[in-house]
Chains A and B, each alone.
Chain A
């Protein structure tokens, strides 16, 4: 600490930021994009925002494992510690200076690695605005310190407990002096100095070792259990004030000397200073300065690319099949959104896939903006106009569109069929399938694969270990990430982004696209909210985003297009060349020994049923399929010509015969719609009628010599024919002449209507009685003259809850004792004098001067608080 630097050294984060150059600020904002929403007005505001809890938690979540460990170590050190102190916490006492019995020093290799990596970590922390100040006075942002410092409710990965000062807060001064005496320290005049003396003892290896040397058997075992955390242990009567001479058990021995301190009635804690002393000064048992290695599993790039290209082709075909399946309208959208389980099953069966696979392809088509709800009242899924464009693209461009959508999508089809927190099954295409973590994991996994030598695969567990190091996550998010890594690898294989587990050459350009894209536009995604889901709004955005990418987008879009084009160019030669011929066989099958050109595939798809899919397609001709083709307007001759033209082998006789045979019968029966018919034995009259201009509006058409069909209904037809001076007779369905007379009109038998009263039915007596009672009771309650509240027992304070909380919190900070009124679980009111130590989760942990013990009080049972009139008591 030089006095020269004092004047220029920043005193606040704002001042520190002010001193940074613009680049540094840009880096800060890039690392923490949430600070930008909205753009702060000045640096003070930026600094304030950077110190808010939400923002700090987010920033901490983005750190890699080592940087986070460094931040945790900083949170343990006194504020404004020097770089060397931090280094000491990370590496511990050098092996040469280690004191026997006070922990194993860090092995040399790791220590060197830590020393090597520490500047990087500190720079990263400084860059993200979590640490400020010069190297001799490193300051961790206060909120970060609060978040990272170990507490009972938020155990830290360091496994350390509260400091001596925190753990002894609320302990009576007399007891503190007893601890000092038993630890062999001289008495001090106030609690603060007593705490300092105790901490200093633990921090001094020589004296600490000497103290431990006197310890009876079993003490080491207790300490060893607590030293690397969790630092809390359960014992009976932790708050009993043991003295050195009465201590019988190891725990009592430790409690008497302040090596263990009470943390509630049945818990003890190993204070931080003592634990550090026992760990050779190391904050972490295993610092992880270097990321875990991902060992390449070598494959040949050629096999990888061929496999991936084969899979890419299958992927494109599967999506095309799906679109074809939904061509004339897909299944209905559930009211809660998504696809019903039955429809998913049906679609899976139609595409010959398992349900999870079907869900994946459906979600992919959805993410790529190829299918969507149609927005009608009875909403159903349908293809989007983009789907038609997509279908016209060459296979490699179709693939880049799918792969691009997949890389960026937050939709996670792997969740389909699982249940959410409320136990509702998650439907495919439904809401709650968006996980903002998904694209990050995909990018990260593929990024790691890309970093391996070309054609190398990696073991999933190693990839996961590496991701865990790059960004440690909380347990719930981590389990999601574990799933996501698995799904990413499966999906990438299915999509042909990888082949045999290694990244395909044609996927590489796409990856750089989105990797760069992610760096720039990271603000849109919130990695911190990983375990939360964003609902259908985000889903809609994803679709729009995907659709937007295709259109003439911003400058970034054209770059992405160029990369997609590069990927497509790499993929194109690997895809099987579409064929323009099939092999026809006498068992009425056609085998396409590879993919077919689109028009051929389309016609064959109508003319024959697909029997087997894969590299080749086997089509089977059946009378039904041939009829389908005839229905579609083809003639037998056309079909035979088509087959002759596209078959490499002669058309087998049975197939030609089949087509002729079906064609022979096709259309023999004709079906049409007519509203009425006219029949007449005199065909001259019908001819005349057809020629009559007045009959033109009736839509008459001759079906046979003596029969006309009309588009007008029978009544109109009769009327118009009569108007033309003809004398038609109406006919019943059985062919009888219908005779209409001016008959008196009667209804079929009816029962008399049941009277419908005007208002609701008159209620019966019981109901009325109950109603009056209820009204009375309510009335009494509202208007009752309340007895004035009982006077509080003399001297017991009464304060509103908010004030109680505020007073208790301030007492924690000042270390002051309070006078409280408390109602226990049985309802009896007492009054106590307590020294609050912490306020957490609706409970106050405090030293109860009345009973001389640590205990917790429920805040809601505290009837009131008052500060003690004078501390002298």
Chain B
């Protein structure tokens, strides 16, 4: 009896308690995406992108088939094996490379494939003259486009055309009193050898340092794209602290400042600002001879940036993300334009290594009062969520929770400003929301970091890329309709390693029998699938003190 079960829907079930589980996980991880990792059985999925990622990492179909056959408990359906082999065989039939005379060329090892794709209407405008039977010229500016189209046609091309070095700029890691963690090192190496690609690390695992490590390898001017201004400042702060770069060498390119320096950090928002039908700030990409482009939170990369990235294929690109899952389903564009996955480590593993804090997730169900129930039942559909998410009972429960964890760094996270203001008032804690000026935000964050403040109420502006190292307890009172991404981010808030090794607590306060509870079910599933302990308690138990042990 082995530990792996291959399902007909191309999912792989791995029994984690089995003695062979570790070996099996190592064997299948390169080509199968971990989809769910609850306590007993992990689910991996075979997808074309996953198989091609494996090909890009140098694995071949035989290894994949061997791994499946070796570890499978039941005979593997023959059709599935054939399908795996066929899918993997499609990768690398076409390759983009530099030709001394003709510039960028697309060559094939399988002539019919070239014939097939050349007949496609979408390929025709991207290619130039046929050089010989197996080679066709490609205009250098279409390098990204053609990769995108080829992937859609099911014949992903390998890119061997190399990169420009860009304008050199000395960057070193200043490893004084700290060092890159082993997995961070592996991630940097994996990226550097692959040329371009995506590194997948959980929130709190130190993705910024992977970026810094990559910059130290490139030693060239770097453009860093981040989600928002706070995150940009965070990057700058971290880079000044961890590398040989000085304040003056790092520029911020955002709504308020437009600095272009050897290392420039720009926000997605400013890049995608549209005036009179054009994106005026996309010039930034051309403003310097960048040697490396870092995309933070690749899963949030907006569509116009994709478009521009297609034209930057000659530059090294590093994508950083916690998850390859995009809610808009553009994973294939990430694969073709930024690059294949170069490194991946599941949360649990990094947690087990002690780099991120284990978390205990608790859902607290509150009952609506009778009058609230009636009001909820008669509310307009679009108002319903707001109504149940901001019920007064939640306030009481939140207060009780804060009181319970008095003295611990506590974040209260919510969606609705009214609710947050009210909570802030009752908890006597400052509120950070969209209108809070950046200076004020940073001041409050710093105070929180220093322990001067122990409770902070934040709106969804804090969802991305702020660093609150000492938050031990997070209480979310309302959210954006159960988004998985948001969940990952919020969990990240409390997963940073704690100085005292204290276990992190993640509370969700949920109104019973409402759509709030339905959204919570999504969250619960997500967290449980990530392998976190998840419990549900009744607010009444909590308030009466019956749940002392919670």
Asked if B11 CB lies within 8 Å of chain A CBs, one says yes
* Cβ 8 A contact of B73, one of A307, A593, A653: A593
* CA gap between A652 and B529 in the complex, in Å: 13
Q: Which of B2-10, B137-145, B309-317 contacts A (4 or more CB under 8 A)?
A: B2-10
Contacting pair A614 B39 (CB below 8 A): no
Contact A500 B78 (CB under 8 A): yes
Q: Is the CB of A653 within 8 A of B535?
A: yes
A614 partner, pick from B5, B512, B529, B533, beta carbons under 8 A: B5
Q: Does B513 contact A (CB under 8 A)?
A: yes
Which of chain B's residues have a CB closer than 8 A to the CB of A500?
78
Please tell me which one of the listed residues B13, B513, B528 contacts residue A587 in the complex, with CB atoms under 8 A apart: B528
In the assembled complex, the Cα of A576 lies from the Cα of B73 at a distance in Å of: 10
Determine which of A576, A585, A594, A613 lies in contact with B8 in the assembled complex, contact meaning CB atoms within 8 Å: A613
Q: Which of A585, A588, A615 contacts B74 (CB 8 A)?
A: A615
The answer on a CB contact under 8 Å between B75 and A653 is no
CB <8 Å contact, B524 and A593:
no
Q: Is B502 an interface residue (CB 8 A)?
A: no
Interface membership of B40, Cβ < 8 A: yes
Q: Find chain A residues with CB under 8 A from B74 CB.
A: 310, 576, 594, 614-615
Expressed in whole angstroms, the minimum distance between the Cβ of B77 and any Cβ of chain A is 8
Q: A309 contacts the other chain (Cβ, under 8 Å)?
A: yes
Q: Are A585 and B536 in contact (CB under 8 A)?
A: no
- Give the residues in chain B near A493, CB-CB below 8 Å: 78
Specify which chain B residues have a CB less than 8 angstroms from the CB of A594 in the assembled complex: 5, 73-74
List of A residues within 8 angstroms of B7 by Cβ: 612-616, 618
- Interface of A: prevailing SS: mixed
* Docked-complex contact A585 and B41, CB < 8 angstroms: yes
For A657, the chain B residues whose CB sits under 8 A away are: 536
Q: Give which listed residue, A352, A584, A665, contacts B9 with CB less than 8 A.
A: A352
Is the Cβ of A593 less than 8 Å from the Cβ of B15? yes
**How far in angstroms is the closest Cβ of chain A from B380?**
24
Identify which of residues 346-377 in chain A touch chain B, using a CB-to-CB cut-off of 8 Å. 352
Is A479 in the interface zone, CB < 8 Å from B?
no
In Å, the complex CA distance between A307 and B536 comes to 44
Answer yes or no: B38 CB below 8 A from chain A CBs.
Answer: yes
Q: Which residues of A contact B512 (CB under 8 A)?
A: 661
Which residues on the B side are within 8 Å of A410 (C-beta)? none
Kindly identify, within residues 500 to 544 of chain B, every residue whose CB is under 8 Å from any CB belonging to chain A: 512-513, 524-525, 528-529, 533-536
Contacts of B15 in A (CB 8 A): 583, 593
Q: Count how many chain A residues have C-beta atoms less than 8 Å from C-beta atoms of the other chain.
A: 35
**From residue A257, how far is it (CB to closest CB) to chain B in Å?**
54
Which A475-510 residues have a C-beta within 8 angstroms of B? 493, 499-500
Residues of B within 8 A of A654 (CB): 363, 524, 528, 534-536
The answer to whether the Cβ of A128 comes within 8 Å of any Cβ in the partner chain is no
With a cutoff of 8 Å between Cβ atoms, the chain B residues found around residue A618 in the complex are 7, 11, 13, 43
Which of these, A352, A614, A649, contacts B6 with CB under 8 Å?
A614
Give min CB distance, B511 to chain A, whole Å. Answer: 13
- Is B36 an interface position by the 8 A CB rule? yes
Partner of A586, one of B9, B13, B513, B528: B528
Contacts of A591 in B (CB 8 A): 13, 40-41
A306 on interface, CB distance cutoff 8 Å: yes
- B363 / chain A contacts, CB cutoff of 8 Å: 654
CB distance from A348 to the nearest CB of B (A): 14
Shortest distance between the CB of B122 and any CB in chain A (Å): 28
Nearest to B41 among chain A residues (CB) is A591
A654 to B520, CA, bound (A): 12
Chain B residues with CB under 8 Å of A586's CB are: 38-39, 528, 533-534
A91 CB within 8 Å of chain B: no
Contact (Cβ within 8 A) A665 B41: no
Docked Cα-Cα span, A618 to B13, in Å, equals 9
The reply to whether A585 and B528 contact each other, CB–CB distance below 8 Å, is: yes
Q: Does A177 make an interface contact (CB < 8 A)?
A: no
Of A499, A588, A615, which one neighbours B5 at CB under 8 angstroms? A615
Is A653 in contact with B536, judged by CB distance below 8 angstroms? yes
| Interface check A589, CB cutoff 8 A | yes
Of residues 376 through 424 on chain B, the ones whose CB sits less than 8 Å from some CB of chain A are: none
In the complex, the chain B residue whose C-beta lies closest to that of A653 is B535
In the bound assembly, the distance between CA atoms of A306 and B75 in angstroms comes to 6
Q: In the bound complex, do residue B9 and residue A615 qualify as a contact, i.e. CB atoms below 8 Å apart?
A: no
Residue in chain A with minimal CB distance to B3: A593
Question: Which residues of A lie under 8 Å from residue B534 when comparing CB positions?
Answer: 586, 652-654
In residues 342-367 of chain B, which contact A (Cβ within 8 Å)?
363
- Interfacial chain A residues near B524, Cβ < 8 Å: 587-588, 654
A585 touches B38 (CB 8 A): yes
B363 — nearest CB in chain A belongs to which residue? A654
Q: Which of A310, A587, A593, A665 lies in contact with B525, CB distance below 8 A?
A: A587
Contact residues in A for B536 (Cβ distance below 8 Å) = 653-654, 657
A713 to chain B, nearest CB (A): 34
Distance in angstroms from B549 CB to nearest chain A CB is 12
**B5, B78, B533: the one within 8 Å of A307 (CB):** B78
**Chain A residues with CB below 8 A from B535, complex form:** 653-654
Q: Are A616 and B13 in contact (CB under 8 A)?
A: yes
Most chain A beta-carbon neighbours within 10 Å: one of B41, B43, B77, B512 = B41
B239 to chain A, nearest CB (A): 38
B-contacting residues, A670-690, CB 8 Å: none
Are A612 and B9 touching (Cβ within 8 A)?
Answer: yes
Tell me whether B5 and A583 are in contact (CB under 8 A).
no
**A652 vs B534: C-alpha distance when bound (angstroms):** 9
A614 touches B9 (CB 8 A): yes
Most buried by A among B8, B40, B363, B536: B40
CB distance from B387 to the nearest CB of A (A): 20
Q: Which of A306, A307, A352, A585 contacts B40 (CB 8 A)?
A: A585
**Known contacts A586-B528, A654-B524; is A612 also within 8 Å of B78 by CB?**
no
Cα distance, A612 to B524, chains bound together (Å)? 20
With most chain B CB atoms within 10 A of its CB, the pick from A303, A500, A614, A618 is: A614
Min CB–CB distance B268 → chain A (angstroms): 32
Q: Which of B14-51 contact A (CB under 8 A)?
A: 15, 36, 38-41, 43
Shortest distance in angstroms between A120's beta carbon and chain B's nearest beta carbon? 40
What residues of chain A lie closer than 8 Å to B5, measured between beta carbons? 593-594, 614-616
With A587-B529, A665-B513 already in contact, the answer to whether A310 and B38 are too (CB < 8 A) is no
Contact with B along A303-315 (1 / 0, CB 8 A): 1001101110010
* Bound CA–CA A316/B241 (angstroms): 65
Within 8 A of B (CB), among A554-593: 576, 583-589, 591, 593
B-chain residues with CB within 8 Å of residue A499 when the two chains form the complex: 75
Distance A587 CA – B38 CA, assembled complex (angstroms)? 6
Complexed CA–CA distance, A657 and B77 (Å): 38
**Interchain nearest-CB distance for A772 vs B (Å):** 68
- What is the minimal beta-carbon distance from B486 to any residue of chain A, in angstroms? 18
B524 nearest CB neighbor, chain A only: A654
Query: What sequence of 0s and 1s flags, for each residue 288-330 of chain A, a beta carbon within 8 Å of any chain B beta carbon?
Result: 0000000000000001001101110010000000000000000
A613 to B528 Cα, complex, angstroms? 21
Q: Is the CB of A593 within 8 A of B13?
A: yes
User: What are the residues of chain A within 8 A of B9 when measuring CB–CB?
Assistant: 352, 612-614
The distance in angstroms between the C-alpha atoms of A306 and B2, with both chains bound, is: 15
Complex CA gap A150/B243 in Å reads: 95
Instruction: Tell me which residues across on chain A come within 8 A of B41, comparing CB atoms.
Output: 583, 585, 591, 593
**A615 touching B6, Cβ below 8 Å:** yes
Query: With A585-B38, A653-B535 as given contacts, are A612 and B11 in contact (CB-CB < 8 Å)?
Result: yes
The 5 A-B residue pairs whose C-beta atoms are closest, nearest first, are A614-B7, A587-B528, A615-B74, A310-B75, A585-B38
Known A587-B36, A613-B9, A615-B72; 12 more pairs at CB < 8 Å: A307-B75, A310-B77, A311-B75, A499-B75, A586-B528, A587-B525, A587-B529, A593-B13, A594-B74, A613-B8, A653-B535, A661-B512
Q: What are 12 inter-chain pairs, A to B, with CB distance below 8 A?
A: A493-B78, A583-B15, A584-B40, A587-B525, A593-B15, A613-B8, A613-B9, A615-B72, A615-B73, A616-B5, A654-B528, A654-B535
What residues make up the interface of A, taking CB atoms closer than 8 Å to B? 303, 306-307, 309-311, 314, 352, 493, 499-500, 576, 583-589, 591, 593-594, 612-616, 618, 649, 652-654, 657, 661, 665
